[in-house]
Copies of this chain bind each other. A is one copy, B any other.
Amino acid sequence: MMHADIPTFDDVQRAAVRIRQWAHRTPVLTCRTFDELTGASLFFKCENFQKVGAFKFRGACNAIMSLSEDEARLGVVTMSSGNHAAAVSLAARMRSIPAYIAMPETAPESKKRAVEGYGGKITYCANTEALGETALRIQEATKAHLVHPFDDPRVIAGQGTATMELLADIPGLEAIIAPVSGGGLLSGTCVAAAGMRRGMELFGAEPRIADDACRSFRARRLITDNVGSTIADGLRATLSERTLSILISHLRDIITVTEEDIIGATKNMWQRMKIVVEPSGAVPLAAILAQPNSFVGKRVGVIVSGGNVDVDHFPWH
């Protein structure tokens, strides 16, 4: 892989400047109950309060705002059943260009409505497997510019801005943990943290029934089989060569958690912290609770990735 394909800390810093006027600087919350339960000091970076309700807006916004006039003119295209679709739609609207979204018929109604509300033009396909092909066909027809959900250095750099803010706001952090799916957020976290401070311990957190990233990381090669249908519906993608190579360079480990761990952590965050998080966003806390020995006595940053749930159909009902 060419060096130019891997974003640097400079790219993250430029992304932070680029998205500053469009994205929220999200708050960092603490919770004594969880500190007592874990023996660590946890600092929750609340991307559930981000625009469109998820960190995804950072990467999509950075990619779209960094396009040249010529690149942007015919719009952008992506494939996603979830938060990235909404993020691309909103960022494109902010830039006054069209956004074409390939989405599976099976996506939740609330996500479809969100994309339409932000002005995204949806093309439905039968299932998740057909997403890439559908996006390609849209691209051929429209000549729109592709903004991949995670395998894009501009997207990765954008996601890293959450960690830049976290490290700027909270002194003395010793570890950071973020959820991993395609690895855009986690690899951006790695690039930002490594650029700002030496010796940080960086962890990924992943559902055990979709543990392809953990197995890929440990095997040092891409494994994309066997991704189960976890309740953490934001974490069903698999790594790319690019994101895997960044994780191998920086990561301490990926901790996997059961579905019960995820449901428990999600409900606990709602009940105790009084914030709405989606199951994917509670996976890092679930990992800390499942493996507290890696965190006890440390100041730990926890990336809460998003808060998009349908309050008429809670994930655990």
Contact B307 A48 (CB under 8 A): no
Interface 9-mer from A80-88, A174-182, A193-201, A266-274: A266-274
Q: Is A65 positioned at the interface, with any CB of B under 8 Å from its CB? A: no
Bound complex: CA A312 to CA B264 (Å): 11
Contact B314 A274 (CB under 8 A): no
Contact B267 A311 (CB under 8 A): yes
Chain B, residue nearest A306 (CB): B274
Q: Is A53 positioned at the interface, with any CB of B under 8 Å from its CB? A: yes
A32 to chain B, nearest CB (A): 9
Q: Is A64 positioned at the interface, with any CB of B under 8 Å from its CB? A: no
Contact B274 A48 (CB under 8 A): yes
Q: Is A49 positioned at the interface, with any CB of B under 8 Å from its CB? A: yes
Q: Is A276 positioned at the interface, with any CB of B under 8 Å from its CB? A: yes
Kindly list chain B residues whose C-beta atoms are within 8 Å of the C-beta of A275: 274-276
Chain B, residue nearest A49 (CB): B274
Contact B274 A274 (CB under 8 A): no
A24 to chain B, nearest CB (A): 10
Chain B, residue nearest A268 (CB): B311
Bound complex: CA A289 to CA B234 (Å): 33
Q: Which of B271, B276, B317 contacts A270 (CB 8 A)?
A: B276
Q: Is A27 positioned at the interface, with any CB of B under 8 Å from its CB? A: yes
Bound complex: CA A312 to CA B316 (Å): 9
Bound complex: CA A271 to CA B110 (Å): 10
Kindly list chain B residues whose C-beta atoms are within 8 Å of the C-beta of A314: 311, 314
Contact A271 B27 (CB under 8 A): no
Binding site for B on A (CB under 8 A): 27, 29, 46, 48-49, 53, 267, 270-271, 274-277, 307, 310-312, 314, 317
- What 4 pairs between A and B have smallest CB-CB spacing? A274-B307, A274-B276, A48-B274, A267-B311
A-B contact pairs, 10 of them (CB 8 A): A29-B49, A267-B311, A271-B276, A274-B307, A275-B275, A275-B276, A276-B276, A311-B314, A314-B314, A317-B317
Besides the known contacts A29-B49, A274-B307, 13 further A-B residue pairs in the complex with CB atoms under 8 A apart: A27-B27, A46-B274, A49-B274, A53-B274, A267-B311, A270-B311, A271-B276, A271-B311, A274-B275, A274-B276, A274-B277, A275-B275, A314-B314
